[in-house]
Structure 1
Amino acid sequence: DARFDRQAIADALSLKLSQIGFENHVPSFWSAGAPFVMVPVHDVAAVSTIEFDSLRWEQLTPMAEGRLASAYVYCRGGVNHTARFHARKFGPGAGNLEDPATGSAVAALSGAIHFFDQFVDGHHPVLVEQGVEMGRPSFIHLHLDIAGGEISNARIGGHAVKIAAGELYV
């Protein structure tokens, strides 16, 4: 159970403290092969104004699985009216700061949304939109099967468009 300094998170995202969290969703740590701090934000408008400060993020994020956890910022709803969640992914360091579609983050998000929303037993399709602010909107389809109050199966899918190809000769 990780506890996070919500003001430090707000500062790293250039948001107000009051914009961090919604309903019972609070910042939490989840991993599905790659570590993420899930940061719930009040609404799409707040998510769209984020200016990520990687130096501030590196000071607050935990080291897990040999690397610093990335930020996965999410809120309910979306620009696309069928989206259940709108998200942005930011990574620490000088590399790829924002990603238009992050399957590993949505896999980790499945734990957070089930923990906070307590889905009933059955099948739950969840559409997550990401990459909107980058001009590269992506729709990630998450399917959760809940049995006995726990996630029994999670599947992630979507469509991809090839934008580059190459070969590496060693």
Structure 2
Amino acid sequence: MADARADALKVRRIAAFTRDGRGGNPAGVVLAETLPDAATMQAVAAEVGYSETAFAAPAEDGWRVRYFSPETEIPFCGHATIALGAALAQAHGAGAFPLLLRNGRIEVEAGMRDGAWRAVLRSPPTRSAPAPGLIVAEALDLFGYDAGALDPTLPPALAHAGADHLIVALAAREALAAMAYDFSAGRDFMRRCGLTTVAFVHREAERSFQARNAFAGGGVVEDPATGAAAAALAGMLRDLGALAGGELVVLQGEDMGRPSRIEVSFTSERGASVSVGGACADIACP
């Protein structure tokens, strides 16, 4: 049964970045008159049990938003923002909604298309830098890879688009499918290094990537769709000169049985925001 506190706050459950009506990453969404205190939001997020729950309340010129994983607050979450956009459009009609985060402002736009709710967010500004060798070595050891598994054309990077991610490109799809790690050690590593996720990607075509994201720092083994990491990946590719701009697709969740599709578009302007979008589906309450 749904938890009483979650019911009292009317938690919506929405899967973001669904693929052909299936899969996606479940998020909790709470639309409230005022934001609850942090302890209550943390407790509700733990009870909901999804990788993130977004809490939103009207502000003077938009919606103030905070994100909580089962174990900690997160500065920005892409899939929960997409789910929030769908919830806002369902409640207030299709359109664009300004969002006030703890560390900046973004916007999400949502509406109905082809019989499904869809939303597109504009990420915070992006940045990336080569990942320090010691962090890369520890990550490879944690996940059981050696340096030979890496894609030499896309060196590991620390990338940011509202949250910090270690992005590691693997040369083979089979290596991506084999991703596994010790959860306790992974949580220690991610928290110690200030990483929201460790994102492994495989470039299957110039503008198409397969991805897997470990999220032990937030109390979740793996995310089936990670919009913030997809935005950070686009910024990293732009910084490396691997893509000047345009569109790319990130396919995630296949190895978890939750196929997800993240659609990304971005300009050639270094550091500029990235657009991340996808379809959504309501999840029946337990």
Matched, 1:8 2:128: no
TM-superposed deviation, 1:162: 2.2
**Match of 2:275?**
155
CA contact (8 A) 1:146 1:153 kept: no
TM-superposed deviation, 1:61: 4.2
Identity of aligned residues (%): 26
CA contact (8 A) 1:58 1:68 kept: no
**Match of 1:44?**
173
C-alpha distance in 2 between matches for 1:87 and 1:26: 15
CA contact (8 A) 2:159 2:167 kept: yes
**Match of 2:266?**
144
Q: For each residue in 1:140-162, what CA deviation from the matched residue of structure 2 results, as whole angstroms up to 9, or x when unmatched?
A: 00001114xx3545210011222
Kindly report structure 1 stretches of 4+ aligned residues shifted beyond 6 Å.
none
**Match of 2:200?**
73
Q: For each residue in 1:27-62, what CA deviation from the matched residue of structure 2 results, as whole angstroms up to 9, or x when unmatched?
A: 211121221111111121100001122344345447
TM-score (norm 1): 0.78
Unaligned 5+ runs, structure 2: 1-128
Q: For each residue in 1:9-30, what CA deviation from the matched residue of structure 2 results, as whole angstroms up to 9, or x when unmatched?
A: 22211223311x3133122111
C-alpha distance in 1 between matches for 2:211 and 2:165: 13
Q: For each residue in 1:92-135, what CA deviation from the matched residue of structure 2 results, as whole angstroms up to 9, or x when unmatched?
A: 24721111111111111111111224433xx5110110001000
C-alpha distance in 2 between matches for 1:23 and 1:156: 26
**Match of 2:52?**
none
Unaligned 5+ runs, structure 1: none
C-alpha distance in 2 between matches for 1:84 and 1:36: 19
**Match of 1:115?**
239
The two structures, once aligned, show a CA RMSD in angstroms of 2.6
**Match of 1:129?**
251
**Match of 2:214?**
90
SS of the aligned residue for 2:237 comes to helix
- 1 or 2 for the larger relative contact order (CA 8 Å, sep ≥6)? 2
Work out the number of aligned pairs and report it: 156
Query: Which of the two has greater strand per residue?
Result: 2
